[in-house]
Amino acid sequence: MTGYAVATSEGAAGTLTIEIKSVNSRFLDLQFRINDDLRALEPDLRTAIMAAIQRGKVEVRVSFGRKVSSGAAALNQELLADLARLQGEVTRHFAQAAPMTVAELLRWPGVIEESTIGQESLQADVAALTVTTIAAFVDSRRREGAALETMLQSRIESMEAIVKRITPLIPQVISQFQNKAIDRMQDVLGVAGHGNPSTLTRQEVLERIRQEVTLYGIRIDVSEELSRLSAHLNETRHILKKGGQVGKRLDFMMQELNREANTLGAKASVKELADASMELKLLIEQMREQVQNLE
C-alpha cells in the first residue's frame, strides 16, 4: 500500500526530521537514508517500523540539521596546520598555484568545530519522533485501505450480479442441449425414421441416448461452479469486513475465484456463459492487482 508521513522536532542541538513513504509491493522492503550522525540508530528504527508494517516498499529518511552556535566559533587548529603544510608542499611543486583564501578555509569541512551532540539525548529524540511518524504513516495507509476496500466491494457486487444473471440459464442450457442431443442420436441410431435402421431395439436405443445425454449434461453443468463462486465471494466480503491483516487471505481467495471462473469458461456451452467467464476473470484480475497491495 502507498502511504506518506513526515514529522519534525526541534531540539537544543538542531532539527530532526523523519520521513516515511511507501509504494505497493507484495513483501516488505525497507530502505533507509540516514545522516551519518544517526546511522547507529538504524536497527531501532527498523525494528519499530517492522512492528507496524508488513507489506510495501518503504523508504525511510532521517535527517538532522545542527543549529548554528550563538557563541564564538572555534577553529580546528590541528586541521588548519595540516592544510598549511599541504599548501606549502603544493606551492613547492607549483609556484604559480594561488593560495587558499580565508573564505575557502572556513568552508573546508571540519575547520569550524561543532559542539558534540549527546548520543543518548539524540536517541531519545529519534525514538519519540519515530512513534509520531509511524502513527501518521499507518493512518495514511489506513485511509488508502478504506478506499481500496470500497473498490473491492464494488467488484464483488459486480461478480455477484453476473452469477445471479447466469444462474437461471443453466437449467435452460442443459434442457436445450438434451433435446438437441436426443434428436441427433435418434437420427444416428435409426430411430428417427430415415437412414439405415438400427439393429438395436427401440428400448435399447432410448436407454443409450439417456445415458449419453445424462453424462454430457453433467459435464456441461456449471451449477456447482456458480455455487462455489458465490461462497468464495461471501468469504471475500467477510474477510474485508473483519479487517486486520487481510492481504494473504485475499490472495488465496483470488486464486480460488479465478479457478472457478476458468472452469466456467472451459465448460461453457453457450455464448452467454463464455462471456460471463471473461467478465468474471477481468474483475478478478482487477481485484488481484489491488489485493497484492493490501496488508
Is a pLDDT exceeding 70 seen at residue 256?
Answer: yes
Q: Return the DSSP state at 40.
A: G
Cα-based distances in Å from 35 to 66, 114, 131, 218: 11, 16, 19, 68
| Whether 152 and 284 share a structural domain | yes
| Whether 205 and 231 share a structural domain | yes
Is a pLDDT exceeding 90 seen at residue 278?
Answer: yes
- What is the pLDDT at residue 194? 47
- Grid look-up 550563538 returns 70
Q: At 245, is the pLDDT very low, low, confident or very high (cuts 50, 70, 90)?
A: confident
Residue range 270-275: mean pLDDT, rounded: 86
pTM score = 0.55
Instruction: Look up the CATH number of the domain holding residue 8.
Output: 3.30.230.10
| Whether 102 and 52 share a structural domain | no
| Whether 157 and 272 share a structural domain | yes
Residue range 225-233: mean pLDDT, rounded: 91
Listed range (5-9, 196-200, 236-240) with the worst mean pLDDT: 196-200
For 162-214, how does the pLDDT look when each residue is reduced to its tens digit (9 = 90+)? 999 988 887 777 777 777 767 776 676 654 444 445 555 667 766 776 776 66
Instruction: Quote the number of domains for the chain.
Output: 3
| Whether 48 and 86 share a structural domain | no
For 25-67, how does the pLDDT look when each residue is reduced to its tens digit (9 = 90+)? 777 889 999 887 788 888 888 999 888 888 788 999 998 877 6
| Whether 202 and 184 share a structural domain | yes
Cα-based distances in Å from 290 to 2, 147, 246, 247, 280: 11, 11, 12, 9, 16
Q: Return the DSSP state at 71.
A: S
For 62-87, how does the pLDDT look when each residue is reduced to its tens digit (9 = 90+)? 988 776 554 556 788 888 888 899 88
State whether residue 10 is helix, strand or coil.
strand
C-alpha cell at 29: 522492503
| Whether 126 and 191 share a structural domain | no
| Whether 240 and 208 share a structural domain | yes
| Whether 132 and 185 share a structural domain | no
Do residues 5 and 27 lie in contact, with contact meaning Cβ atoms separated by under 8 Å?
no
Domain region containing 84: 74-113
Point out which residues pair with 28 in neighbouring strands. 56
Instruction: Look up the CATH number of the domain holding residue 274.
Output: 1.20.140
| Whether 150 and 250 share a structural domain | yes
| Whether 128 and 237 share a structural domain | no
| Whether 37 and 100 share a structural domain | no
